[in-house]
Amino acid sequence: MAFQRDYVLRMIEMMGDLLRRLKMLGTDLLRQMELDAACRDQCGLPLDAAADLSRDTLAELLPPRALFVLSELLYLKLSSTAMDADAEMQMKMHILRILSSLHEEETLCEERGRRLRELMDDCDDEMTPEDYLNCARFFLAGEHLTDCEDAVFMAVEIALDKKAPIRQGKEMLQQMLHLPETTLIPGGMTREEIRTAIDDLETWEKA
């Protein structure tokens, strides 16, 4: 079942309240205990265990709503507790992979597109073509069209075998062509720009 807009907005508001509570706590240990309690309550898992499990394993264990909440809690941990640079990058990639896997949830994609873009930019050295394509799907569903185009071209650029990323990227850009002007303009793309992007992919395909 697709997330209802009021559910997504309510959960985002709850996470804002939780972040404010975390900032009032005196130590990282207390903040981690608070986050762990929330994760056990909302997701049925200890937070550290959820941080160690792969996205695919989590998807087998948790429904989409719990995955959404988990991505929010992990982001709060990232924002409120100290960690070294390697751990921070690992956490950002984990959040990105969980969040981008929820690309069928249009309301979530609308509301969390900016966050995913920030994560994608921060993690560019760690990204795989699959990561970029999942981000592109998320951006398309949320009507963040320029971000979608960027992610498609990044996927193609770093792929050793470019056939699949080009094919999937063209499919997403073709979907954009059918969007109404009221979606294209806020999304930052014109039909001419989309056609040019498709032509660029086709040129790449023939190279």
Residues of the chain where predicted confidence (pLDDT) is lower than 70 = 1-3
The number of residues making up the chain comes to 207
User: Two tokens at 80?
Assistant: 């409120």
Give me the pLDDT at residue 7, please: 77
Give me the pLDDT at residue 19, please: 83
User: Two tokens at 22?
Assistant: 């975390």
Whether the CA torsion 35, 38, 39, 40 is positive or negative: it is: positive
Residues whose CB is less than 8 angstroms from the CB of residue 164 and which lie 6 or more positions away in sequence, other chains included: 129
Give me the pLDDT at residue 20, please: 87
Q: Phi, psi at residue 62, to the nearest 5°? A: -120, 145
Task: State which amino acid sits at residue 181.
Answer: E
Give me the pLDDT at residue 45, please: 93
Q: How many CA atoms lie within 13 A of 133 on its CB side?
A: 18
What's the 3-state SS for the chain?
CCCCHHHHHHHHHHHHHHHHHHHHCCCHHHHHHHHHHHHHHHHCCCHHHHHHCCHHHHHHHCCHHHHHHHHHHHHHHHHHCCCCHHHHHHHHHHHHHHHHCCCCCHHHHHHCHHHHHHHHHHCCCCCCHHHHHHHHHHHHHCCCHHHHHHHHHHHHHHCCCCHHHHHHHHHHHHHHHCCCHHHHHHHCCCHHHHHHHHHHHHHHHHC
Predicted model pTM: 0.91
Give me the pLDDT at residue 3, please: 63
Distance CA 205, CA 184 (A): 26
Q: Is 85 left (phi over 0), alpha (psi -120 to 50) or beta?
A: alpha
